[in-house]
């Protein structure tokens, strides 16, 4: 049975991974060891957390003294900018089973370093990509592969939520492309195959006299090699949350709504054909499903993910960010000329 080490107790580590792990342990007691989660963070221990659920170690080396690396899964929840260094540190302590927060890397050079560390130290990585393990995504794949609604012409994704406080506090992200977009980009590659970035733009987050460059929102358009076109729009200054995907197909329209929060893990699917709409509502706790799958694979010796999809997602995100920067540069040049 497997124990857990969490590196980084920010929003992802403490706010998402810890409660999801406790839920997953209740569902699969034979997979998870009945011992506390061990965590390492540069800040102070979170106040008021039950000691029997979480033990805070002062350093990675101290955490190593509490755990057997052969029977431990390490969750890397630190910002992606330091991912390769953290992976190397845990590898040198003997850990090899790793759950990594998305995105796998922020650009091609960072991706190269991460993959090199994983290869050189024999790390087995599972990238946190709950939308790829979502029941809604499974149903969308079935619709596309089934052919009952014809072929896909376009797909649009809206990923909106207010994210002022974390962005103003500098959460470690360099661009809005790194927040919500990786979830849907992986789904689009799974649904429609590989693609190239055709258009991309990014906006700043502004609040009074405060401004955070490139953290207001992101937009990108993809041309898939199979012929379909897709677009992702993410507004991190929106007043409400929305996670919607719309498939325009030759025989109808499919609209999916992913759960927007931990408090209500239900998804919805609307199918419109010949003027008739069929709506379904179903439970879709994708993050718990991902966690159960990752631990079961490690427990069985199957290892982590095939990283090709996650690596390609990181490459396209890098392309989008670079194209967005180039677009701003062209606009500024035109402004100066005029």
- Domains, the chain, with CATH or none: 3-128 (3.40.50.720), 138-289+319-327 (3.30.360.10)
3-7/72-76 β-pairing: parallel
pLDDT tens-place string over residues 11-25: 889 889 999 998 999
What does the pLDDT read at residue 49?
Answer: 52
β-pairing, 266-273 with 210-224? unpaired
What is the helix, strand, coil percentage profile of the chain, to 5?
40, 30, 30
pLDDT in tens, 51-98: 568 999 999 999 999 999 999 999 999 988 899 999 999 999 999 999
Q: b/e map of 227-253 (b: 16 or more CB within 10 Å)?
A: ebbbbbbbbbbeeeebbbbbbbbeebe
Give 332 or 243, the one with higher predicted confidence: 243
Q: Tell me if residue 223 falls in helix, strand or coil.
A: strand
Phi, psi of 262 (to 5 degrees): -70, -20
Among the listed residues 70, 69, 20, 66, the one whose alpha carbon sits nearest the alpha carbon of residue 39: 66
What are the pLDDT digits (tens) for 147-183? 999 999 999 999 999 999 889 887 678 899 999 999 9
Using only C-alpha atoms, the chain has a radius of gyration, in whole angstroms, of 21
Extract the tokens encoding 223: 């041309």
Backbone angles phi, psi at 284, to 5 degrees: -150, 75
What pLDDT shows up at residue 117? 98
> Left if phi > 0, otherwise alpha if psi is -120 to 50, otherwise beta: which for 193?
left
* H helix runs in 196-307, sequence order: 286-300
CA 102 to chain centre: 4
* pLDDT at res. 174: 83
Q: What does pTM read for this prediction? A: 0.90
A 10 A CB-CB count for 30 gives 7
């Amino acid at each position: 049975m497997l124990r857990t080490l969490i590196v980084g107790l920010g929003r992802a580590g403490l706010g998402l991974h810890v409660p999801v792990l406790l839920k997953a342990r209740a569902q699969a007691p034979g997979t998870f060891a009945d011992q506390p989660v061990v965590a390492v963070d540069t800040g102070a221990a979170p106040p008021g957390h039950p000691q029997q659920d979480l033990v805070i170690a002062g350093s990675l080396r101290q955490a190593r003294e509490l755990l057997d690396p052969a029977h431990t899964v390490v969750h890397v929840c630190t910002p992606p900018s330091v991912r390769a260094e953290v992976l190397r540190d845990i590898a040198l302590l003997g850990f090899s089973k790793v759950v990594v927060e998305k995105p796998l890397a922020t650009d091609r050079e960072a991706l190269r370093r991460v993959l090199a560390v994983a290869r050189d130290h024999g790390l087995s990585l599972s990238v946190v990509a709950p939308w790829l393990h979502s029941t809604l995504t499974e149903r969308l794949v079935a619709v596309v592969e089934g052919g009952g609604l014809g072929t896909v012409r376009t797909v649009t994704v809206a990923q909106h939520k207010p994210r002022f406080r974390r962005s103003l506090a500098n959460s470690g992200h360099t661009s809005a492309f790194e927040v919500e977009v990786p979830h849907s980009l992986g789904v689009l590659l799974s649904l429609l195959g590989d693609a190239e970035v055709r258009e991309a733009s990014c906006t700043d987050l502004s609040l009074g006299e405060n401004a955070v460059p490139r953290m207001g929102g992101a937009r990108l358009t993809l041309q898939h090699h199979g012929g379909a076109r897709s677009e992702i729009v993410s507004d991190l200054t929106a007043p409400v949350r929305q996670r919607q995907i719309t498939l325009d197909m030759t025989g109808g329209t499919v609209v999916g709504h992913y759960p927007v929060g931990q408090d209500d893990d239900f998804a919805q699917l609307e199918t419109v054909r010949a003027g008739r709409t069929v709506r379904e509502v179903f439970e879709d706790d994708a993050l718990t499903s991902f966690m159960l799958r990752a631990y079961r694979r490690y427990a069985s010796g199957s290892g982590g993910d095939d990283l090709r999809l996650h690596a390609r997602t990181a490459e396209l995100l890098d392309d989008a960010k670079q194209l967005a920067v180039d677009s701003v540069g062209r606009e500024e040049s035109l402004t100066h000329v005029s």
